[in-house]
Amino acid sequence: MGNHGSNLDDILAEDMHHWYNKFMRESPSGLITLFELKAILNLRGMTENANSYVDQVFFTFDMDGDGYIDFVEYIAAISLMLKGEINQKLKWYFKLFDQDGNGKIDREELETIFSAIQDITRNRDIDPEEIVSLIFERIDVKGDGELTLEEFIEGAKDHEDIMDMLKKMMDLTPVLVIIVEGRQG
């Protein structure tokens, strides 16, 4: 059937025992700290923006804000990325993009995140300034240079090309493959 070891559609079909064993192998304490996440993903020598992005990802997955990702948060995060409804994913993207937590996204926040993602994924197919300009041109209905959660979700859903770009930019498949397959190098 052509499974090349990274068919992520089947990841959640694995039994919970298997997932738990993988999690506990990586983090015997049952909790992953930000430092451990960076070690698991083998992220060294990142730019400051990429480092901030990883921090932001960690804190969006640390749902109870205790400074750790536990097994439930881990499974919820992977499930969201793989199987989440589009509204759930867009809400998560928005939370990730809203670095200052003011409930709005501005151009600088988006450009910073997109540049950081490219530093991590090494995928530089899309210029962050171009995608940000397109997003604001098409979905900033108030024209105030900021996007609310509602503007972002509705605007993204109304423009297939923007959704496609977001999916491509936010593709965390390489990160999930590292998590699923372990730290083998």
**For the segment 105-114, what is each residue's pLDDT rounded down to a tens digit?**
999 988 888 8
Task: Name the burial class of residue 76, with classes exposed (0-12), middle (13-18) and buried (19+) by CB atoms within 10 angstroms of its CB.
Answer: middle
Those residues whose C-beta lies under 8 Å from the C-beta of residue 133, and which sit 6 or more positions away, are none
pLDDT digits (tens, 9 = 90+) for 11-27: 555 656 677 777 788 78
Nearest alpha carbon to residue 147 among 113, 110, 184: 110
pLDDT digits (tens, 9 = 90+) for 113-133: 888 777 776 667 778 888 889
- Mind listing the domains of the chain with CATH numbers? 7-181 (1.10.238.10)
pLDDT score of 146 more than 90: yes
Average pLDDT, the chain: 77
Distances (CA, A) of 29 to 40, 64, 84: 14, 17, 28
Residues in the chain, how many? 185
